[in-house]
């Protein structure tokens, strides 16, 4: 998909953003006043606020990521833009964001409801715009059970359908990784660096686990765990850690004296005989008659003044 660099609408402080986005984002809207829209929506994995971009007519949703370095600015025309971040807008399946509200409604109400009642969020008033995205009315059937009453459709979250849909996403991701020759094994990078050859030790499980990690960035932690079990991925076990030799534990707390260390003062040492084992030569020297002998230290003592 072709991409182009564009500048967003001016912010409240008069600054601008530099963003790389698909060219389709800048297509002229079919209706006046329905151009590209930056808005805050819930991150489907964490539930926290994140920045998204609706293209013209809100038919496509893109997530916005920022690359940031310290001491970076932009020269735009004849001005300097102090916000030196580089933003990237990439398409994202809006069904992931709808899924967040479906699972929440399942926990809170647990009943069939119209979509316009499920996608209600006082903190994020733009969330109903998700229903304007292309094909959302058809793709919603991948993750819900549906009932029609008096000509109106009602929906309820289906875990079974959702896991099947997510598995398809994983399979598609694995295919893309292989088609683009992306290596996901643990030892691939180091082996390639040393030999200079393309060595791929990636197994099918490596690809599935890697794809599962990518998909998990757009779903809740509970659903990620459920998907892992559905994919029959074995649990990763850490290698056994060898028992380290016992060491005295270090602590930031003050060290408490466990005995009286004043007994090691130099004055006390002079009054105590050090008991130690003597070597054979020392024992022989001890038996020598030292009568009339001077200690060697006497030859180095200072002479008494006359």
Q: What is the pLDDT of residue 265?
A: 46
CA distance 165 to 158: 11
The Cβ of residue 158 has, within 10 Å, a number of other Cβ atoms equal to 18
Low-confidence ranges of the chain (pLDDT < 50): 1-13, 188, 190-195, 247-270, 272-274, 306
Cβ burial of 52 (10 Å; 0-12, 13-18, 19+) is: buried
Backbone angles phi, psi at 179, to 5 degrees: -60, -35
The pLDDT tens digits of the residues spanning 154-192 come to 999 999 999 999 999 999 999 999 999 998 876 545 444
Residue 15, helix vs strand vs coil: coil
What's phi and psi for 3, nearest 5 deg? -130, 155
User: Residue 3: its pLDDT value, please?
Assistant: 44
Q: Residue 116 gets which letter from DSSP?
A: H
Residue 230, phi then psi, degrees to nearest 5: -65, -35
What pLDDT, on a 0 to 100 scale, did the predictor assign at position 221?
96
pLDDT recorded at residue 302: 58
Q: What's the burial of 272, exposed, middle or buried (CB within 10 Å: 0-12/13-18/19+)?
A: exposed
Q: Which of 115, 167, 157 is nearest to 137 (CA)?
A: 115
| Exposed / middle / buried, residue 99 (Cβ in 10 Å: 0-12, 13-18, 19+) | buried
pLDDT at 122: 95
């Amino acid at each position: 998909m072709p991409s182009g660099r564009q500048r967003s609408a001016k912010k409240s402080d008069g600054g601008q953003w530099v963003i790389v986005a698909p060219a389709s984002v800048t297509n002229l809207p079919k209706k006046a006043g329905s151009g590209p829209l930056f808005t805050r929506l819930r991150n489907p994995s964490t539930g926290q606020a994140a920045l998204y971009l609706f293209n013209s007519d809100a038919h496509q949703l893109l997530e916005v990521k920022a690359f940031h370095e310290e001491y970076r600015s932009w020269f735009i025309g004849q001005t300097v833009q102090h916000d030196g971040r580089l933003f990237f807008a990439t398409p994202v399946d809006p069904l992931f964001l709808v899924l967040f509200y479906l699972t929440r409604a399942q926990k809170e109400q647990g009943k069939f409801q119209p979509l316009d009642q499920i996608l209600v969020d006082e903190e994020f008033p733009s969330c109903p715009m998700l229903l304007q995205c292309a094909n959302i009315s058809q793709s919603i059937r991948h993750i819900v059970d549906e009932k029609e009453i008096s000509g109106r459709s009602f929906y309820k979250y289906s875990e079974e359908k959702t896991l099947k849909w997510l598995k398809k996403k994983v399979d598609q991701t694995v295919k893309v990784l292989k088609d683009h020759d992306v290596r996901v094994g643990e030892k691939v990078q180091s082996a390639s660096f040393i030999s200079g050859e393309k060595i791929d030790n990636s197994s099918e499980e490596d690809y599935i686990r890697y794809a599962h990690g990518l998909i998990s960035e757009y779903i809740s932690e509970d659903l990620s765990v459920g998907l892992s079990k559905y994919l029959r991925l074995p649990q990763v076990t850490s290698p056994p850690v060898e028992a380290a030799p016992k060491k005295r534990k270090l602590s930031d707390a003050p060290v408490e004296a466990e005995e009286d260390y004043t007994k090691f003062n130099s004055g006390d040492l002079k009054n105590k005989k050090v008991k130690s084992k003597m070597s054979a030569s020392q024992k022989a020297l001890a038996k020598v008659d030292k009568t009339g002998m001077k200690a060697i230290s006497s030859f180095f003592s200072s002479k008494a003044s006359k």
